[in-house]
Amino acid sequence: MRRLKRNWQPLLASTLTAISAAWLPLTQPGAPVPIQGMTIALLLLAAALNVILTLEDRGHAIRAGVLFIGAHIPAGMLLSGLDGNEGQMSASFFLMITASWLLAWGTVSELAQIEPRSSAARSFLRLLIPAIFGVWILILWEAVTRGAGIPFILLPPPSAIGARIAGSIATLWADVQQTIFKAVLFGYVVGCASGFAVAILADRFAFLRRGLIPIGNMVSALPIIGVAPIMVMWFGFDWQSKAAVVIIMTFFPMLVNTVAGLATAGTMERDLMRSYASDYWQTLIKLRLPAAMPFIFNALKINSTLALIGAIVAEFFGTPIVGMGFRISTEIGRMNVDMVWAEIAVAALIGSVFYGVVALVERATTFWHPSNRGG
Amino acid sequence: MSVTPPSVVSARKLGLTFQTGDGPVHALSNVDLEVRKGDFVSFIGPSGCGKTTFLRVIADLEKNTDGEITVNGMTPEEARKSRSYGYVFQAPALYPWRTIEKNVALPLEIMGHSAAERAKRIERTLDLVNLSGFGKKYPWQLSGGMQQRASIARALAFDADLLLMDEPFGALDEIVRDHLNAQLLKLWARTEKTICFVTHSIPEAVYLSTRIVVMSPRPGRVTDVIESTLPKERPLEIRETPEFLEIAHRVREGLRAGHSYEE
Ligand SMILES: Nc1ncnc2c1ncn2[C@@H]1O[C@H](COP(=O)(O)OP(=O)(O)OP(=O)(O)O)[C@@H](O)[C@H]1O
Ligand SMILES: [Mg+2]
């Protein structure tokens, strides 16, 4: 039972390989470049059986290594067999891709059980596991879109998107400069800073707090992106109108979160400050702002996502002929979906980096918070 | 003694009524008390009898609604503004984003001491509470007892003459408590501070105090003030002497009287 549980991925993979070997070739009759695929089947079988039989009692690292090689060499061969055979692959091909995917799954589950001693090995594993995951999303995407001949318009394969990115670096870079470096960064900095400043004012003056916070809460829940066309009317077609949208979108989350954060310091901590006859600003800087940091970073993280969405979508309503949102809306009209996907990929990458940087600064700043301690 | 030391806390017919949703709560009523310079006064009484409230009135964290109180001859507010007291709360209340050292430095920063002066005082007060070597740690890396000692160091750092302590050792085990009691006495003898100390423990009150104020609840008031006849020099063993037990007995009687009043 334990044996079955530990080996179910290679067991299932070898079964699938055996079935698919009976249905060879990998291509449908009449494919331009017919492929037998016996070698791949043998490789898969060998890797799976090796893991089940001879590596039964070995450590996780060795099993993971064999599974890794056994999954990825056949997968690479299968993908290279796609050239010229788009939409012409047989069931045997998909069974073998599934089998190698199962071996990759086995790799990850073995890797996840390794308990590394050095911290370098630990961070390497922390990167390796999601990397294998991500790569397999791309492999399966590629195999399905090209193997089954899914129309390019519906979903282009990642290889085509990658080629498009490589071929359009200049255009993409110009778009990133326009949208990210101008609209997003400027809007984010100004929106967050003014939200923060107004929060401090609202904290100091009760009438502002009473009037502004309920409105802030309400506006935070609105689809503010709707004001984008109006901003274009007010501030023109260039990046300033997009920055304005970003400012409006990021202002209220920062305001509301900062005001909430300033209220979190405990009564005893405040009484302590009072007993030192500390003035308003001293209490603010030495107690209430540090206590509010988790809230402020929460707003910074929410806003990093909002700013990106805001700037890209705002460009749908009119821009000069450059910008990520502009490119997406025009290229989709010309059916150049690979360019659309290329922009999406770039936006996803920048969004993750942006969020990641904010999260890193957060960890360094709020290390003392119970949720971050010892991590 | 022929000369009476100057008064540090002087309360006359002091009363405080909280207005709550379920009507008024008389936390303190008709409290008359005189604390003189160099006194070590303990407040003892059942839960809810107003011990914390009385300390908070002295500290100007709460305003009395009746009677009068002066601290160092001033109103509590003036006394607070002139930073005349250090307050040790029931919980350590250390700031988790500051190291122990920086926590002790907090009042010094606020009161505008120079960096060199701060470093000197941090070293001295941490040494006083046996925490030298832990200055670079964060509060959450220390045990509860060590945190409480750090909070005492913080209250001592700026050399106020009056120390208000609200059950500072309430959450600690007996051994640590004995140790800290002895250290506190030494500190008090050496620095001639005036200390107001809230506790639930009769032996602790008797061991530490020159005077023990017994309080009773509903409304919170002073039912007895017991002058200690113990000498200023008090080894821990003094707690087994007949004299000590006699005072402890009187405190217990006082507490009982307060309780029976209720029934
Ligand atoms: N902020 C407040 N609002 C309303 N009632 C209060 C407030 N603070 C204290 N009280 C009431 O005043 C009374 C005295 O409270 P206090 O905290 O001084 O008691 P205590 O003697 O310190 O008790 P314990 O030994 O449990 O700490 C209690 O009945 C309490 O409910
Ligand atoms: Mg209390």
Cβ neighbours for A77, distance < 8 A, ≥ 6 positions apart:
A39, A40, A43
| Mean predicted confidence (pLDDT) in A209-232 | 84
Would the CB of B53 count as within 6 Å of ligand 1? yes
Predicted complex ipTM: 0.88
Q: With an 8 Å Cβ cutoff, are B110 and A275 in contact?
A: no
Q: Over the stretch B33-47, which tens digit does the pLDDT of each residue have?
A: 888 888 999 999 888
B68 & B136 share domain: no
Give A282 or A220, the one with higher predicted confidence. A282
Which protein residue's CA is at the shortest distance from atom 2 of ligand 1?
B18
Q: Over the stretch A143-153, which tens digit does the pLDDT of each residue have?
A: 999 999 899 89
B177 & B249 share domain: yes
- A281: nearest CA in chain B? B110
Instruction: Tell which residue, B252, B215, B255, has the closest CA to residue B31.
Output: B215
Q: With an 8 Å Cβ cutoff, are A373 and B97 in contact?
A: no
Number of domains comprising chain B: 2
Q: With an 8 Å Cβ cutoff, are B59 and A275 in contact?
A: yes
* Cβ neighbours, 10 Å, residue B72: 20
Distance CA A135, CA A16 (A): 22
Q: In terms of DSSP bridges, do strands B23-36 and B7-20 run parallel, antiparallel, or are they unpaired?
A: antiparallel
pLDDT of amino acid A375: 47
Chain B: residues touching A (Cβ < 8 Å): 59-61, 80-83, 85-87, 89, 91, 93, 95-97, 106-107, 109-111, 138, 140, 158
B152 & B241 share domain: no
Q: Over the stretch B187-217, which tens digit does the pLDDT of each residue have?
A: 888 888 899 999 988 889 999 999 999 998 8
Q: How far is the CA of B74 from the centre of ligand 2 (A)?
A: 25
Distance CA B75, CA B64 (A): 11
Provide the residue count of chain A: 375
B68 & B192 share domain: yes
Q: Please determine, for residue A220, whether its predicted confidence score (pLDDT) is greater than 80.
A: no
Q: Over the stretch B96-115, which tens digit does the pLDDT of each residue have?
A: 999 999 999 999 999 988 99
- Is the Cα dihedral B25, B29, B34, B39 positive or negative? negative
Distance CA A299, CA A220 (A): 11
pLDDT of amino acid B260: 54
| Mean predicted confidence (pLDDT) in A112-129 | 89
Instruction: Tell which residue, A34, A37, A142, A36, has the closest CA to residue A84.
Output: A34
Domain end: B124, B141, B159, which one? B159
Ligand 1 atom nearest to B200, measured from its CA: 25
B28 & B56 share domain: yes
B150 & B261 share domain: no
B49 & B77 share domain: yes
Q: Please determine, for residue A41, whether its predicted confidence score (pLDDT) is greater than 90.
A: no
Testing ligand 1's pocket by substitution, the residue of B25, B44, B54, B199 carrying the most ligand atoms inside 8 A of its CB is B25
B3 & B127 share domain: no
How much of chain A, in percent, has pLDDT values that exceed 90? 58
Domain A166-372: homologous superfamily in CATH:
MetI-like (1.10.3720.10)
Q: Over the stretch A124-138, which tens digit does the pLDDT of each residue have?
A: 988 999 999 999 999
B183 & B254 share domain: yes
Phi, psi of A153, deg, nearest 5: -65, -40
Phi, psi of B78, deg, nearest 5: -60, -40
Testing ligand 1's pocket by substitution, the residue of B14, B31, B43, B51 carrying the most ligand atoms inside 8 A of its CB is B51
pLDDT of amino acid B30: 85
pLDDT band for position A118 (cuts 50, 70, 90): confident
pLDDT of amino acid B131: 86
pLDDT of amino acid B2: 54
Testing ligand 1's pocket by substitution, the residue of B14, B17, B18, B65 carrying the most ligand atoms inside 8 A of its CB is B18
pLDDT band for position A195 (cuts 50, 70, 90): very high
Which protein residue's CA is at the shortest distance from atom 18 of ligand 1?
B50
Give the A:B interface size as CB pairs under 8 Å: 51
Which protein residue's CA is at the shortest distance from atom 24 of ligand 1?
B47
Q: With an 8 Å Cβ cutoff, are A276 and B83 in contact?
A: yes
- Is the Cα dihedral B4, B5, B6, B7 positive or negative? negative
Instruction: Tell which residue, B26, B11, B168, has the closest CA to residue B75.
Output: B11
A173 and A180 Cβ atoms separated by less than 8 Å: no
Domain that residue B225 falls in: 1-84+162-263
Domain end: B132, B159, B186, which one? B159
Mean pLDDT of chain B: 87
B138 & B220 share domain: no
Would the CB of B20 count as within 6 Å of ligand 1? yes
Phi, psi of A166, deg, nearest 5: -60, -35
Q: Please determine, for residue B164, whether its predicted confidence score (pLDDT) is greater than 50.
A: yes
Q: With an 8 Å Cβ cutoff, are B87 and A275 in contact?
A: yes
Q: Please determine, for residue B1, whether its predicted confidence score (pLDDT) is greater than 70.
A: no
Domain boundaries, chain A: 2-150, 166-372
B109 & B31 share domain: no
- A369: nearest CA in chain B? B96
Which of B81, B95, B106 minimises the CB distance to A277?
Answer: B81
| Mean predicted confidence (pLDDT) in B160-186 | 85
pLDDT of amino acid A54: 82
DSSP state of A53: I
Q: Over the stretch A278-335, which tens digit does the pLDDT of each residue have?
A: 999 999 999 999 999 999 999 999 999 999 999 999 998 888 889 999 999 999 989 8
Report the CATH number that the domain containing residue B173 is assigned in CATH. Answer: 3.40.50.300
Q: Over the stretch B220-252, which tens digit does the pLDDT of each residue have?
A: 888 888 888 877 778 887 888 888 888 888 888
Q: Where are the alpha helices (DSSP H) in A82-184?
A: 91-113, 119-147, 158-167, 169-176
pTM over 0.90: no
Domain end: B159, B186, B204, which one? B159
| Mean predicted confidence (pLDDT) in B115-142 | 90
Half-sphere exposure of residue A214, counting CA atoms within 13 Å on the CB side? 4
A156 and A92 Cβ atoms separated by less than 8 Å: no
pLDDT band for position B263 (cuts 50, 70, 90): very low
B151 & B231 share domain: no
